[in-house]
Amino acid sequence: MEHRYLGNSGLKISEIAYGNWLTHGSQVEEDAATACVRQALEEGITTFDTADVYANTKAESVLGRALAGERRESVEILTKVYWPTGPGGPNDSGLSRKHIMESINGSLTRLQTDYVDLYQAHRYDIETPLEETMQAFADVVRSGKALYIGVSEWTAEQIRQGHALARDLGISLISSQPQYSMLWRVIEDEVVPTSEELGLGQIVWSPIAQGVLTGKYKPGQPVPEGSRATDAQGGSNMISRWLRDDVLEAVARLEPIAQAADITMAQLAVAWVLRHSNVSAAIVGASRPEQVTDNAKASGITLGDDVMAAIDDALGDVVVRDSSLTGRQTPTSRPT
């Protein structure tokens, strides 16, 4: 497992991170979730990404128990704050000082740790002054409860404003966590150049496009039983946009490219993401330990320019590149 610096900070993270969105505390029973975490550690993965909203705090608790007994200094634990948790009261979401301060304490309790390595704003909060949010993050860092801060699905301009405030407050905003894959490239025109300028690294989620890039979904055929496309708890909503026949036909054209490289489709997808220099890590999830092993093998794979060009030719115009779609990730009001 190779490691990369997170942005221009001195923090190194495993270039493949293990994430438990849509799995721990919901799709996967705890013994299976723990087995996946243990396998991630066995494969050399040291970076674990979660959020308080995943399974309404249950995912953090599962991860905390799964990592219990590990040397704390040997792992990097990342979590996030913004979306509603608890019973959904008026202050149970957003990036107000109240919600951030209460949320970090809850996350640390569930994760069974004194600090997180990276605390991330899960979305931009248009109802809270950015100055209030960044001051609260600064106080979290100064209290020793987080070492660095990051953002998720912020636009280039939001990142620029947040970075300026963080710099004035003397804290390190070092990362962005966007969706990024062969199929979803909306960050390339604006978010990535801004991040490179300011020294932020990308920790990307869904590099395999919720499993579509594994090739298991076939055009004109029913979705496999037990797959994410059948998950009524959220997975089916996220993956549905990729289940068009034109997308699945394009993905099928990737199979001979993976075969020629002697790697799996999933490894091709993860290696493609890691080919980009501003990407510090790709987050992978799993419901079985063998999936962790397969994804981990993408570490260190180098795709040549000819392979990258062949991938672009295979996918053609099904690739989504519209940079304005990042802005649509900002909720128009604080969720309840």
- Give the residues across from 5 on adjacent strands: 12
Contact, 136 vs 100, CB < 8 A? yes
> How far is C-alpha 222 from the chain's CA centre?
28
CATH number of 3-327: 3.20.20.100
Q: What is the mean pLDDT of residues 243-259?
A: 96
CA atoms within 13 A on the CB side of 315: 20
Q: Given this model, what pLDDT does residue 219 score?
A: 86
Residue 279: band (very low, low, confident or very high) from pLDDT cuts 50, 70, 90: very high
% pLDDT > 90, the chain: 86
More confident: 267 or 227: 267
Q: Is the pLDDT of residue 15 over 60?
A: yes
The tokens describing 316, both together, are 């053609």
Q: Quick: pLDDT tens for 113-131.
A: 999 999 999 999 999 999 9
Residue 21: band (very low, low, confident or very high) from pLDDT cuts 50, 70, 90: confident
Q: Given this model, what pLDDT does residue 237 score?
A: 67
Residue 290: band (very low, low, confident or very high) from pLDDT cuts 50, 70, 90: very high
Residue 220: band (very low, low, confident or very high) from pLDDT cuts 50, 70, 90: confident
Q: What is the mean pLDDT of residues 75-91?
A: 94
Q: What is the mean pLDDT of residues 41-56?
A: 96
Domain positions in the chain: 3-327
pLDDT-wise least confident of 63-77, 101-115, 235-249, 266-280: 235-249
Q: Is the pLDDT of residue 232 over 80?
A: no
Q: ∠225-213-329 over CA atoms, to 5°?
A: 95
The tokens describing 249, both together, are 């036909």
Contact, 295 vs 122, CB < 8 A? no
Tell me whether residue 274 is exposed, middle or buried, using C-beta atoms within 10 angstroms of its C-beta: 0 to 12, 13 to 18, 19 or more.
buried
Beta strands in the chain (DSSP E): 3-5, 12-14, 16-19, 47-49, 76-81, 116-121, 146-151, 173-176, 201-204, 279-284
> Residue 134's closest CA among 77, 103, 96, 102?
96
Active-site residue identified among 5, 18, 54, 180: 54
Q: Given this model, what pLDDT does residue 115 score?
A: 98
- Decide if 115 is catalytic: no
Residue 230: band (very low, low, confident or very high) from pLDDT cuts 50, 70, 90: very low
Mean pLDDT taken over the chain = 94
Q: Quick: pLDDT tens for 51-77.
A: 999 999 999 999 999 999 999 999 999
Q: Is the pLDDT of residue 18 over 60?
A: yes
> How far is C-alpha 249 from the chain's CA centre?
26
